[in-house]
Structure 1
Amino acid sequence: MTSVFGWVATDAEQRRRMTGLVDQFRDSTTIDDLGLGGIRDAFADTLFPGTSTLHTRIRYALFVPWLMQLAADRRSSVSEMSAAFARSEFQLTTALLEGREVTGVIGRVAGADLKRTASVVYWGMLSSWGVISRGFTLRQYFERVLLRRMQARTQPRADDPEAVWELTPTGLHEGLPSAPPDLLTSTDFTLRPEDARFLRESITYSAPDSLLAHLVQNKPDGWTDRDSAPESFASPEVMRDLPLELHSEVDRAYRYSVAIHGANLLYNLVLASRTHRKRDDGSTYGEHYEAWIREWFDEARSVGLPDAEDLRRIWMMVTSTGRALSPSTRSFVEGWCAAVVDATSAEDLIHSQSLATRVANREQEKKGPRARLNPSNRQALDAWTGAAGTGRNTFRWGIVRDHLQDLYDAEAAS
């Protein structure tokens, strides 16, 4: 039986939590037909903590707390603050459009029907980067603001004029730069120098050993604009000058991404063999994927496959991020890597019935009756478009690259 869950959206905070839970099961970088998304996401969270494929521009990490502050200002109850905050998220969309921003504006298309607001999308980033205390909710922030006001009114007068009474923290980072005065009338995604400085410091402090922290402090050589940005998180200009442990981690992630790409290509080859479908140029998809696997095999042999120690470290990383790692997942990845290492040529993989069966069994294990290779699900097989999950794992590099570009641009302008 297919598992389902649902909820009644009684308030904005509950909706935010549940939408975040749903997003944990999504990552649009590749389709996860072989059930390896947990490993992919563990790598992404380790290399680039706080990021998500739902993110658009990094300044939203400041927009959201600024809106929280504005909503709390001069309002006397949590309900009033919450209502003001909800309105301000839609006002921000209008302000960004007034500021001539188009790409990356959350709510530009959905308008008043927007369900996944900026605060929903970016709350994980705010917590991960220390912009707001971990575990805090929007309601708790508003409650803390009211508590601080009461403390400020009722604290006793000190005889010592230099005495400072400590108030309860609101949960927002005290070093957050001030919001621009025109935030809700006309704004854009351009970071001010103080914005970029705050974000760099927050990322470096909260995730000091990550690739993200290294890159916010060290721009790779030759990266001048979006067109010259490195194509890969493991490009030579990125790898250069990395600390030894981080270099090993990035290299391991890259070799894993190459290895698993081959498994996905073989999965598509099996689909092609079941459908006998032809491409627009008259060749079959089977021929297409056989040629692709041959090309991939040469690259995999050149790059190198994860060895036993690499895989042991990968399993430790996955579990350290709180993700489940089933014995069958470990067995599939280890078996695939061993098969590639043992192969004398790409033909050994292309024509291996045991590997084809292993791939088919893996998909059926993870997807059950929905599997394309399930004999009783011909409809799903016929719906195959010729490519499923053929994109290589990039661990959100495309999103991170845009965030870094915004930071680098602010640094260049200062």
Structure 2
Amino acid sequence: MPSLIAWLDASSEEQRRMRDIIRLFAERESRDELGLGQIRDGIADALFPGTSTLLTRARYLLFVPWAYRKAAGRKDATGDAAQFERDTIRALKDAGDYAGLLGMQAGEALKNLPSAIYWTMLRHYGILSDASLTRDDALRLEGMRAAPDDLSEHKRFRAWSTTLPDAPDGFPKSLPGGFALQRDEAEWLRDRILDQAPDTLIAHLAVERPDRESPAPWADAAAIAVSGDAHVMLDDARAFSSLMHGAQLLYNLMLAEEYEAAGYEKLAEPTAGFRDRLDRWSDELIDLRSWDLDLLLARVELTRGSPINPQSRRFVRNWRDLLIEHGSAIADSAELRDFMARRERQHKGAQARLGNRARLATWGGSSGAGALVFRWPQVRGILLDIHDGLARRDGVTDA
């Protein structure tokens, strides 16, 4: 599908950001073809708490509370808050900052507003004064007196952190700096991460700048320098990604073979491509005998606060055992192919693609075939925004 993001006259740095966003939307990690979502998300939450695959730019963590604080107390606070969020779309376009812009195509008709996407992160990092607040609560309670007869300002309820940096003059109609964080804003967001997610990988990377192009956290020089429990979690994340990437590639190889056998030709030699990717994966597979999968699953359940689906747990364990038994040369194993077909039917039911000619016809050439990287492109982008702001001189924008 051609990208809907317009290429505009931009600097090389802006173009790089645009490429990152296109890659982000090309194959979201949120696709869960084999039922790994609970474990994948539990690992991501342990590494990067409060985040999601929908995040784009760090300054939305300020745009949203600024819009809500401005709308609070108005007659139509809900409608005004939404309008202020939509006003930022035009202001960002006017500033020439397009990379990561929510509503690039829809404009002010955007339905899924930034507040809906960022609310969890606003809660987690203490930007909201109380993590239990809903969006309606934040508008209704902001500025409300603690008691009907109490006129003192210090006893009014504040929905947002009292240390929240002030919105720039002209917000939301004007944002000359676009998404560029000012130094005080970047320092404030960094401190929220350090305060609310101590001893995690995201806290480490709020201090140590990640690489711009690293494809995964375990391929990032700053990330692999983390210590303690965060380092253990990073090692486990890499091991789980390595383990399950083979399953993802074998599944897609089977789809590719059925696609070609059915006579479909829109995709160029998908079977050969996935065989090549499986060969490269086999060279990178970790030593499964020395890695404690059960300990990782227990850590995931602690992070989630609830058990992993038993079928998902069984699938992962059985896949690990099969690889230990058969080794990494899995492309032509009848036993592993049967295992994968059964798993797809179990997980997807009537929506399974294998053996379903009509579903194969709509196959785009990759169904969750990318290695799990646990929200790394999105989190790395947020962190780089913060580090860029920390490096910025006071009062200087990139406009």
Common topology (TM > 0.5): yes
Give me the whole-angstrom Cα distance separating, in 1, the residues matched to 2:247 and 2:120. Answer: 31
* TM-aligned CA distance change 1:211 to 1:242, over 3 Å: same
| CA distance in 2: counterparts of 1:81 and 1:381, whole angstroms | 48
CA contact (8 A) 2:183 2:391 kept: no
Aligned length: 363
Change (3 A) 1:94 1:242: same
Aligned to 2:376: 397
Deviation at 1:71?
1.3
Q: Which moved more, 1:45-54 or 1:122-131?
A: 45-54
Alignment map for 1:181-220 (pairs within 5 Å): 181-187=169-175, 188-220=178-210
Quick one: which of 401, 404, 407 aligns to 2:386? Answer: 407
How far apart are the structure 2 equivalents of 1:198 and 1:306? Answer: 44
2:143 pairs with 1:119: no
Q: Which amino acid aligns with 1:404?
A: L
1:75-108 deviation line (CA, Å, top 9, x unaligned) = 4x5x432232122111111111121212222223
In the alignment, the residues of structure 2 paired with residue 281 and residue 80 of structure 1 have an alpha-carbon distance, to the nearest angstrom, of: 51
1:104 to 100, 103, 109: 100
Letter in 2 for 1:36: L
Work out whether 1:366 is the aligned partner of 2:366: no
For residues 310 and 262 of structure 1, do their structure 2 counterparts lie closer, same or farther at Cα, with a shift above 3 Å needed?
Answer: same
| Alignment-derived partner of residue 38 in structure 2 | 38
Letter in 1 for 2:166: S
Percent identity between the two aligned chains: 33
Considering only aligned residues, what root-mean-square deviation do their CA atoms show, in Å?
2.6
The reply to whether residue 94 of structure 1 matches residue 73 of structure 2 is no
The alignment partner of 2:141 has SS state of helix
Question: Structure 1 residues 169 and 350, CA, compared in 2 at 3 Å: closer, same or farther?
Answer: same
Cα 1:305/1:183, change in 2 over 3 Å: farther
Aligned partners of 2:267, 2:174: CA distance in 1, in Å? 53
Cα separation, 2, equivalents of 1:28 and 1:236:
20
CA deviation vs aligned residue, 1:135-176 (integer Å, no higher than 9, x gap): 102322233234238768545xxxxxxxxx851532311111
- Structure 1, gaps ≥5 residues long: 1-26, 156-164
Aligned to 2:337: 356
Structure with larger Rg: 1
2:324 counterpart letter in structure 1 = V
What are the within-5 Å matches in structure 2 for residues 16-95 of structure 1?
A: 28-29=28-29, 31-72=31-72, 75=73, 79-95=75-91
30-39 vs 319-328, which deviates more? Answer: 319-328
Native 8 Å contact 1:44 1:395 kept in 2? yes
- Answer with 84-93 or 273-282: which moved more: 273-282
- The residue aligned with 2:164 is 176
CA contact (8 A) 1:59 1:189 kept: yes
- Cα distance in 2 for partners of 1:230, 1:306 equals 28
**8 Å contact 1:128–1:206 — kept in the other structure?**
yes
Runs of 4+ in 1 over 4 A off after TM superposition: 149-153, 277-284
1:258 matched to 2:242? The reply is yes
1:305-360 CA-to-partner distances (Å, cap 9, x unmatched) read: 375633332243145314552222111111111222223451xx222212111111
Change in 2 beyond 3 A, CA 1:357/1:167: same
Distance 1:234 1:255 in 2: 10
